[in-house]
Amino acid sequence: MSNTPTPHISAKEGDIAQTVIMAGDPLRVKFMADNYLDNPVQFNNVRGMLGFTGTFGGRPVSVMGHGMGIPSIGIYTYELFNFYGVKSIIRVGSAGAYSKDLRIGDLVIAMGACTDSNYGAQFGLPGTFCPIADYDLLVRAVDTCGKLGYRHKVGNVLSSDIFYHDNPHIEKWVNMGVLAVEMEAAALYMNAARSGNRALALFTVSDHLMTGEATTSEQRQNTFTNMMDVALSLI
């Protein structure tokens, strides 16, 4: 019996490309489909989580939302990797900067993802798993940033379960060299590892937790295009 469609994705087998670029905001996904893809076809709107498949540079690619937080991206990426034959998922999202070397609009390429989530407990490992990016995707993303002249930093991020935090302990993460905080990469990297597939998370700095600088929701939806250029160069 086929596992598709799933309770969360209405696509049929073959509707989704082997490379999927994902964003938390479905409207950012629609922006990518409208502005980057040739002949995009919508394959999902369950719970408003838009997904489209088209081509870019003649190569098939899908774009899809994953919602906010580790439980949400955990469901969508599990189904894509395990039920739809997806081989690579590239997340493009916003992040809050910790590092003093980052500015609004800079790119962060997540080599690894720390987390305060208990998501990894399901695997029953006798220790602590370190969620990391696919090396080939990482190197190629760094190379693309260099060629396009995009300001970027590579390193560790924090995937936090908590947005409004009573005790964020930012300085402790800063002391460990963590560049920025977001909410999904660790689960993406764990699901990729468990399914034997590839993943990379790219971020645009939308606000700075140390300086208080910030962008609007409209800017985050429509103007964070450098990371999209990088992600599409990897398909």
For the segment 104-148, what is each residue's pLDDT rounded down to a tens digit?
Answer: 999 999 999 999 999 999 999 999 999 999 999 999 999 999 999
Per-residue confidence (pLDDT) for residue 22, from 0 to 100 = 98
207 carries an active-site annotation: yes
* Model pLDDT for residues 141-191, shown as the tens digit of each residue: 999 999 999 999 999 999 999 999 998 889 999 999 999 999 999 999 999
Per-residue confidence (pLDDT) for residue 1, from 0 to 100 = 42
Cis-peptide into 168, omega within 30 deg: no
Residue 214 has pLDDT above 50, yes or no: yes
Residue 211 has pLDDT above 90, yes or no: no
Across residues 13-20, what is the average pLDDT? Answer: 97
Q: Given 116, 161, 207, 229, which residue is catalytic?
A: 207
Numbers of helices and strands, H then E, in the chain:
7, 9
* Cβ count near 71 (within 10 Å): 13
Quick check: helix, strand or coil at residue 41? strand
The average confidence (pLDDT) of the chain is: 95
Q: Where are the alpha helices (DSSP H) in 11-55?
A: 26-36
Per-residue confidence (pLDDT) for residue 188, from 0 to 100 = 98
Q: How is residue 12 annotated by DSSP?
A: P
Per-residue confidence (pLDDT) for residue 222, from 0 to 100 = 65
* Model pLDDT for residues 82-103, shown as the tens digit of each residue: 999 999 999 999 999 999 999 9
* Domains located in the chain, CATH noted: 19-232 (3.40.50.1580)
